[in-house]
Amino acid sequence: MIRLEQLHEWLEKANEKIQNNKEFLTQLDQAIGDGDHGINMSRGFKEAINKIRASTYHDIGSFFQDVSMVFIAKVGGASGPLYGTAFMKAAMALKGKSVLTIQELAFALKESVSGIKMRGNAQAGEKTMLDVWEPVVDYLASSGDSFPWQEVRRISLEQMEHTRQMEARKGRAAYLGSRSVGHLDPGSVSSAYLFEALAETMEGSEAT
Ligand SMILES: [Mg+2]
């Protein structure tokens, strides 16, 4: 079973990766967007970590709800509302739970994917964060409660890399049309950090 402290550890690891790669995310977004993704993600994760460190949780729904509110209330750009929606949908799916199976987590993250699609009016293949979220969550949902977490990391990085050859259809990058080809989508990179962090957390624990 997945415990609350593991979910906390997941977000701590994700925060480390985001802070360590803040400049890289900025550079990626400067190339095809407005250059705010590093700052937005850095602020969002920092504030979310401050919030969850300062609180005690018994309900996984409340935990993700707090994370969601930080992104919605304090993070600008497109990424604040999109990540905020993702965590909000997970919170709603996990309300009242104090431990999770991997399948329950996968179900909640499927709700997150639906939320991102609706909020961003986007589909996979449009060079966005969904190009990492959807295949990774589909893998989790289809893999039962025992599988190699390295596979989650591999799929995340592979799908992130795959956005390089895509033409952007959403956000500012879409104005560049074919000139967006050859650049990684910044949201897919921050999303890959999130799922790498999940894989590392679960690999390093007795989750299943
Ligand atoms: Mg931006």
Mean pLDDT of the chain: 96
CA–centroid distance, residue 50 to ligand 1 (Å): 23
CA–centroid distance, residue 175 to ligand 1 (Å): 13
SS3 percent helix, strand, coil of the chain, rounded to 5, is 75, 0, 25
CA–centroid distance, residue 31 to ligand 1 (Å): 10
CA–centroid distance, residue 23 to ligand 1 (Å): 13
State the total domains in the chain: 1
162-180 pLDDT, tens per residue? 999 999 999 889 999 999 9
Task: Give the residue from 138, 150, 134 showing the smallest Cα distance to 204.
Answer: 150
Q: What is the mean pLDDT of residues 190-194?
A: 98
CA–centroid distance, residue 32 to ligand 1 (Å): 9
Half-sphere exposure of 147 (CA within 13 A, CB side): 19
Which pLDDT score is estimated for 206? 56
119-163 pLDDT, tens per residue? 999 999 999 999 999 999 999 999 988 889 999 999 999 999 999
Q: What is the mean pLDDT of residues 90-98?
A: 98
Whether 205 has a pLDDT exceeding 80, the answer reads no
Phi, psi dihedrals of residue 100, rounded to the nearest 5° = -135, 150
CATH number of the domain enclosing 160: 1.25.40.340
Task: Give the residue from 71, 58, 78, 89 showing the smallest Cα distance to 11.
Answer: 71
Which pLDDT score is estimated for 147? 86
Higher pLDDT, 115 or 207: 115
pLDDT-based confidence at residue 208 (cuts at 50, 70, 90): very low
CA–centroid distance, residue 36 to ligand 1 (Å): 4
Whole-angstrom CA distances from 200 to 149, 194, 197 are: 8, 10, 5
Strand locations in the chain (E): 2-3, 99-100
CA–centroid distance, residue 15 to ligand 1 (Å): 18
Per the structure, the complete domain to which residue 131 belongs is given by 2-207
CA–centroid distance, residue 172 to ligand 1 (Å): 8
CA–centroid distance, residue 144 to ligand 1 (Å): 36
Task: Give the residue from 159, 149, 199 showing the smallest Cα distance to 13.
Answer: 199
Whether 190 has a pLDDT exceeding 90, the answer reads yes
Q: What is the mean pLDDT of residues 66-89?
A: 96
Q: Which helix (H) or strand (E) holds 150?
A: helix 149-162
Task: Give the residue from 197, 123, 135 showing the smallest Cα distance to 160.
Answer: 135
CA–centroid distance, residue 37 to ligand 1 (Å): 5
CA–centroid distance, residue 25 to ligand 1 (Å): 10
Structure tokens at 187: 């949201």
Task: Give the residue from 14, 61, 64, 52 showing the smallest Cα distance to 199.
Answer: 14
* Distance separating alpha carbons of residues 155 and 166, to the nearest angstrom: 17
Which pLDDT score is estimated for 207? 45
Whether 57 has a pLDDT exceeding 50, the answer reads yes
Which pLDDT score is estimated for 146? 83
Structure tokens at 188: 């897919």
Which pLDDT score is estimated for 204? 79
Which pLDDT score is estimated for 64? 98
Which pLDDT score is estimated for 76? 87
Within 8 A by CB and 6+ apart from 63, the residues are 4, 7, 8, 52, 57, 91
